[in-house]
Amino acid sequence: MLIALFFACNVHAGSPTQPLQQAKGTEQKAKPDTRGTEQSPLVIKVNPSPINDEKAAEEKKERQEKSDSDWWLVKLTGTLAAIGLLQLFVFGLQARRLRQTIEEMKVATAATQKAANAAKDSADTALVANMPVLSPYVTNIGNIHPLQAIVFTGSDGIQTVEFDSHIFFTFDNYGRTPGIIREVRADLFLVDGSKLPAVTFDNLPLHDHEVIIPGDARNGTGGTSVIDYKKHFSLTPTEFNKLLSEASSEYRRIVLIGRVIYEDFFEMRHTRLFCVWLRLWKLADNQVGVFQGQHGGIDYNRIERQKIS
């Protein structure tokens, strides 16, 4: 059997030409192979390994978790933005209300300040109304000058009229509370017409008269004592006649010019300047006319106040 098989193989190997020709003819008639072309691409199926499947599943899980995390982050950001807008709205309302409150406080403060100023002004007015207001009052004018001339003739032949002007004066109080006198300076002057002398008040004679003048004292009734003051005058007969005369606008008057410093119980010190015009003349039936009045303007009649330190 082996021999027959060997023989058959040799026979087949010894005549190769005819089969090749037949194969060539068959190849020419066969349809072209289009595999691997664009119309019929080759498809190679690759079976993934178990390790790649696990890695892909893990990556998919990570992507899902990241997607979920990003979604919650978006939601949280949106929520925070909404809260921020709400806070901005609330803060706007609060700022508006605060501004309104400030404006209301300004109005209330202005009203309170106005009321306080009104109360202060009212209190100041009440205080001033109750402060002592001292004014000089001459209690006896009858001896400011003689009513007839007593002429003296000197060794040189010059005639003069000599006399002492003698007055008593105190202070009235037109306020409601007492005034405590600390200093009085005053002097008598003989003036021509309405022309007043220039006076330095610090240089006027000082009078010892530290008394308390009660409130609402009038016409010299409040003083527990009076100031007794004399001053000597020497006039020519012509000057003396002018003093007595009412016919001329140049008649002379005697004036009391001075300053009184007094304190009150409100811790205030008052400085009062005064100028009192005095006049004495003879009437019919041996009657005597007297006059006193305060004149001279602000330079001679004013009151200044200051807090006692």
How far is the C-alpha of 274 from the C-alpha of 171, rounded, in Å? 11
The pTM of the whole model exceeds 0.75: no
Closest CA to 212 of 136, 270, 134: 134
> Which residues in the chain come in under a pLDDT of 70?
1-53, 68-69, 123, 222-223, 246-252
The pLDDT value given to residue 34: 58
How far is the C-alpha of 178 from the C-alpha of 122, rounded, in Å? 21
Surface-to-core class of residue 236, CB atoms within 10 Å of its CB (0-12 exposed, 13-18 middle, 19+ buried)? middle
DSSP string of 240-273? Answer: HHHHH-SSSTT-EEEEEEEEEEEE-TTSEEEEEE
Q: How far is CA 78 from CA 4, 67, 84, 87, 274, in A?
A: 94, 16, 10, 14, 89
The pLDDT value given to residue 300: 95
How far is the C-alpha of 131 from the C-alpha of 178, rounded, in Å? 8
Q: Is the distance from CB of 132 to CB of 262 less than 8 angstroms? A: yes
